Amino acid sequence: MTGEWRQELDQKQLEDVRRLLLAVREADGRPEVEPAGPLPGEFDGGEHLVACIEGEVVGYAHVDTTGDSFGHQVAELFVHPAHRNRGYGLKLLQALDERAAVGFRVWAHGDHPAAQKLAVKTGLERKRELLILHVDVDVEGADWPEPILREGVSLRTFVPGQDEDAVVRVNARAFDWHPEQGALTADDVRADEARSWFDADGFFLAEENGEVIGFHWTKVHEPTPGRFGGERVGEVYVVGVDPAAQGGGLGRALTLAGLRYLASRGLRQIILYVEGDNAPALAVYTKLGFARHETDVQYGR
């Protein structure tokens, strides 16, 4: 297996990686890569390894060298479905182990059994579980009421070019404990505004005395083969509340506003991601009708 680590992909390599990721998406339901345009944001920057056998691309690895909020470099690796069970995944993981900084983490989306075996073989341990919760909009319990806001708090939608810094300030305070979300920048928000899924009408801000104190950013995923019956799916993308403004049901109100909006768009399924050890959030979402659907795992040493 041949391949060299590089900081940027040339146009041919970019298209080679896209074709591989699209094949993986067809087989596994993820990653969410589009047939054209930029690769998903998680593959921006960092270092890339395109693995080939006799000129044919069989695998791809990426490591985010910037690292998460706790300093862990975060990696992902993929083997083309037509070339699995030939040891290429192990070789890619060994290449990551040699390249990435000590303490790196690697994602296993869907907690795939093959990834579990690979982790055991290489001495990696489960370090983090990210749960994907799911609710059917047309079932009992998903008839969500109108949000109730405490006195002095109002709700409006996001204005591009105006609200990026305010959202980032709230986000930083709300997610100072989170490995990825706490590092959100205004440039990150602006980059997402350029993506096809961005919808300012589904981005809700809570204000008090003219200051943004919370937000709910929703997202809509286009149909993905093998997931959710091939339907479009709504997502409770991020709900953030300034710790100084918590209480009085603001988080619930923001969540309800987004859920009702997604339902109004005719979406029959809604998902969200939540840390597996976040018991308070799990309790809130369970009461809103959500149940565990999938698990993403980060492995590390």
Span 23-49, average pLDDT: 89
**Strand ranges, E, within 54-91:** 56-64, 74-79
Question: What pLDDT was estimated at residue 295?
Answer: 95
pTM for the whole structure? 0.85
- Each residue of 143-202: pLDDT tens digit? 799 999 999 999 999 999 999 999 999 999 999 888 888 789 999 999 999 988 999 999
User: How sure is the predictor about 142, in pLDDT bands with cuts at 50, 70 and 90?
Assistant: low
Distances (CA, A) of 113 to 64, 68, 99, 104, 218: 24, 26, 25, 21, 31
SS (H, E, C) 158-175: CCCCCCHHHHHHHHHHHC
CA atoms of 3 and 190, how far apart (whole Å): 33
- pLDDT at residue 141 above 70? no
Span 283-297, average pLDDT: 93
The strand pair at 125-136 and 105-108 is best described as unpaired
Tokens of 201: 């009408």
Q: Give the least confident one: 12-21, 132-141, 183-192.
A: 132-141
